[in-house]
């Protein structure tokens, strides 16, 4: 019979590294598998081409490391990235290496896998939509077409990593019977366009330049092989951009379904509590706007692990464990796993979740909530649980500064209740440097201000840079707070709801303000 070996529980064996494609940018294009991997990651290493919104699927306990930003200069070298991956996995951390597009299409996926294989570290590769193919949907360029193109070639326009100027045979590419899609082609456009023409491709071959494909800032410009270099200079095209070369480029409408959405091209800073921010962001996304978020609170370890550990050691004492948020689930479960336990410890208790997001999070740990109220709040849960709470023992896993209501009602119904703080939430004191840079360089069109407290915190964090954007206020009270601080709102919600605030922005946009 196998015997339990306690030392193997506490000394970490290398964890899995997931090489995950994040798709071209639209967070809706993440695969279900990518979301699952992000949910279980302890360490996420991501590229600048990855939309930060996809990181919301990582748990609050995960460490998120950006490997370099195009505007902030330094990018980590391939060796440094591999070292971080190896080190994380060897420390027993589940690592997600998140790459823009598909990890294997010009993503150096193979270079990152080799050292993992050599070190005996388990890995998985999660494919995704590559940017070059996304142009078909988001720009309506039919990259294959029964009359014009029966094949597609994905081509590196700049071969950074090759010693020779080019490994490409332009004689072959010029006569390729289909669509040519150049990645990384901005800097060397003169080289590849000239080489194609010199090898017999017509100078008037249509070209579509597509920047930031699938993002709200997507841009499509049409030209020809002969004019592409001038257009790049004239329109100041910078990466990331794709070049679709072939007759099909002329078949795209000027305004695709994606670009036709009412807030297309608008960038919004959504500030405030996580619940409202999430709702606002989904709504903006469906209208075609990109939303960046500035959280008002930061999630941390609880002030003291001792009561948590004590409860985790004695879970068999309880009839119920109640989770008040998805962060609560993450902190509770990760602590349980770190202490050497697993989901079986919860075999004898029932689980309740305050809302569907919390219940979904339990699913990441292969647990199912026995009770989830239809309405997302503690009162609704109390109404369900108090019915047969008498004589039952409840463990409430919540946040510091969490509400007392559920505990009070359960006690009043005759239950024994142990509230524990499984994570802390503190006010954010420092500005997000990416958001600050975007505000400073005029890249943000609107800022949503969902309360007077949010108004104060935004001004504290960003000061006068806020004047570069327009402010949408949720109510007259919030507008007054903004005016007191010296900022005039450009739109105000009526009624005073988040949905109406989005409508107010929409109206301003449609009025062409
Ligand atoms: N693995 C990625 C490609 C990485 S190479 C993928 O599968 O999409 C980086 C190049 O990809 C950029 O220079 C640009 O040519 C292209 N690219 C990536 N995302 C893009 C996007 N959203 N819009 C336009 N081009 C993009």
> pLDDT of 304-347, one tens digit each?
999 999 999 999 999 999 998 888 999 999 999 888 888 899 99
Residues ≥6 apart with Cβ < 8 Å to 170:
192, 195, 196, 198, 199
Structure tokens at 512: 């062409």
Specify if 220 maps to a domain. Answer: yes
Confidence of residue 425 (pLDDT cuts 50, 70, 90): confident
- Is the shortest distance between the CB of 406 and ligand 1 below 6 Å? no
Contact yes or no for 433/73 (Cβ under 8 A): no
Q: What is the DSSP letter of 346?
A: G
Is residue 170 in a domain? yes
The DSSP code sequence of 190-237 is HHHHHHHHHTT--TT-EEEEEESTTSTT-EEEEEETTTHHHHHHHTT-
Q: Are residues 242 and 281 in the same domain?
A: no
Answer whether residue 9 is part of any domain.
no
Distance 417 CA to ligand 1 centre (A): 53
pTM over 0.85: no
Which of 369, 389, 423 is at the close of a domain?
423
Tell me the per-residue pLDDT of 82-137, one tens digit each, with 9 for 90 and over.
Answer: 999 999 999 989 999 999 999 999 988 888 999 999 999 999 999 999 999 999 99
Domain hosting residue 67, numbered range: 17-129
Residue 179: inside a domain? yes
Cβ of 381 closer than 6 Å to ligand 1, yes or no, is no
Could you give the C-alpha distances from 220 to 48, 183, 192, 194, 262, in angstroms and in order?
A: 21, 15, 20, 22, 17
In this predicted structure, the answer to whether residue 282 has a pLDDT above a threshold of 50 is: yes
240: CA distance to ligand 1 center in Å? 6
Verify that 313 and 454 share a domain, yes or no. Answer: no
Residue after which a domain boundary falls, among 407, 423, 439: 423
Pocket test for ligand 1, best of 75, 134, 183, 228 (most atoms within 8 A of CB): 183
How far is residue 343's CA from residue 25's CA, in Å, rounded to a whole number? 35
Q: Whose CA is nearest to atom 2 of ligand 1?
A: 101
Q: Residue 471 falls within a domain, yes or no?
A: yes
> Is residue 321 domain-shared with residue 292, that is, in the same domain?
no
From 131, 158, 161, 245, give the residue whose CB has the most ligand 1 atoms within 8 Å, as the site to mutate: 131
Ligand 1 pocket check for 269: Cβ under 6 Å:
no
Domain final position from 64, 97, 129: 129
C-alpha to C-alpha distance for 114 and 128, rounded to whole angstroms: 20
- Check pocket membership of 157 for ligand 1, CB cut-off 6 A: no
Residue 64 contacts residue 52 (beta carbons within 8 Å): no
CA-to-CA distance for 508 and 478, rounded, in angstroms? 19
CATH of the domain at 327: 3.40.50.10090
Are 406 and 482 in the same domain?
no
| Cβ of 100 less than 6 Å from ligand 1 | yes
Give residue 166's pLDDT band: very low, low, confident or very high (50, 70, 90).
low
What is residue 7's predicted lDDT score, i.e. its pLDDT?
37
Reduced to 3 states (helix: H, G, I; strand: E, B; else coil), residue 477 is helix
On whether both 141 and 158 belong to a single domain, the answer is yes
Pocket test for ligand 1, best of 53, 240, 241 (most atoms within 8 A of CB): 240
Instruction: Looking at the structure, tell me whether residues 119 and 88 fall in a common domain.
Output: yes
User: Are residues 159 and 246 located together in one domain of the fold?
Assistant: yes
pLDDT band at 53 (very low <50, low <70, confident <90, very high): confident
Q: How many helices (H) and strands (E) does the chain have?
A: 18, 20
**What is the 25 CA–ligand 1 centroid distance (Å)?**
9
What CATH number corresponds to the domain at position 48?
3.40.1010.10
Q: For residue 320, what are the β-bridge partners?
A: 350, 394
């Amino acid at each position: 019979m196998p015997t339990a070996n306690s030392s193997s529980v506490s000394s970490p064996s290398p964890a899995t590294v997931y090489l995950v494609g994040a798709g071209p940018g639209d967070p809706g294009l993440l695969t279900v598998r990518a979301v699952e991997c992000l949910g279980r990651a302890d360490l996420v290493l991501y590229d600048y081409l990855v939309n930060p919104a996809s990181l919301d699927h990582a748990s609050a306990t995960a460490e998120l490391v950006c490997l370099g930003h195009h505007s902030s200069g330094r990018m980590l070298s391939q060796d440094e990235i591999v070292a971080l991956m190896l080190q994380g996995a060897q420390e027993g951390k589940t690592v997600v290496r998140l790459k823009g597009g598909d990890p294997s299409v010009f993503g150096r996926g193979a270079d990152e896998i080799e050292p993992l294989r050599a070190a005996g570290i388990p890995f998985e590769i999660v494919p995704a939509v590559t940017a070059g193919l996304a142009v078909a949907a988001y720009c309506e360029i039919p990259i294959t077409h029964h009359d014009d193109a029966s094949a597609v070639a994905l081509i590196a326009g700049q071969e950074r990593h090759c010693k020779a100027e080019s490994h490409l045979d332009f004689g072959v590419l010029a006569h390729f019977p289909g669509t040519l899609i150049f990645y990384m082609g901005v800097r060397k456009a003169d080289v590849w366009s000239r080489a194609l023409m010199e090898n017999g491709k017509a100078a008037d071959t249509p070209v579509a330049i597509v920047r930031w494909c699938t993002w709200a800032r997507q841009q499509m410009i049409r030209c020809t092989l002969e004019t592409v270099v001038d257009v790049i200079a004239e329109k100041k095209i910078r990466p990331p951009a794709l070049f679709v070369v072939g007759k099909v480029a002329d078949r795209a409408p000027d305004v695709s379904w994606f670009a036709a959405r009412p807030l297309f091209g608008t960038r919004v800073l959504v500030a405030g509590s996580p619940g409202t921010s999430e709702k606002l962001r989904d709504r903006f996304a469906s209208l075609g706007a990109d939303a960046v978020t500035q959280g008002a609170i930061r999630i941390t370890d609880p002030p003291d692990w001792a009561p948590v550990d004590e409860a985790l050691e004695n879970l068999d004492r309880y009839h119920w464990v109640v989770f008040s948020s998805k962060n609560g689930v993450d902190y509770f479960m990760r602590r349980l796993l770190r202490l050497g336990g697993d989901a079986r410890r919860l075999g004898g208790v029932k689980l309740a979740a305050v809302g569907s997001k919390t219940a979904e999070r339990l699913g990441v740990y292969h647990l199912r909530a026995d009770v989830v109220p239809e309405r997302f709040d503690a009162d609704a849960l109390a109404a369900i649980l108090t019915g047969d709470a008498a004589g039952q023992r409840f463990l409430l896993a919540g946040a510091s500064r969490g509400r007392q209501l559920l505990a009070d009602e359960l006690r009043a119904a005759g239950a024994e209740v142990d509230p524990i703080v499984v994570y802390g939430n503190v006010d954010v004191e420092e500005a997000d440097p990416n958001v600050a840079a975007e505000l400073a360089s005029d890249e943000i069109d609107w800022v949503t201000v969902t309360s007077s407290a949010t108004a104060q915190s935004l001004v504290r964090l960003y000061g006068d840079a806020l004047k570069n954007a327009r402010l949408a206020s949720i109510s007259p009270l919030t507008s007054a707070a903004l005016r007191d601080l010296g900022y005039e709102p450009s739109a105000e919600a009526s009624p005073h709801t988040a949905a109406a605030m989005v409508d107010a922005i929409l109206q301003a946009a449609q009025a062409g303000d």
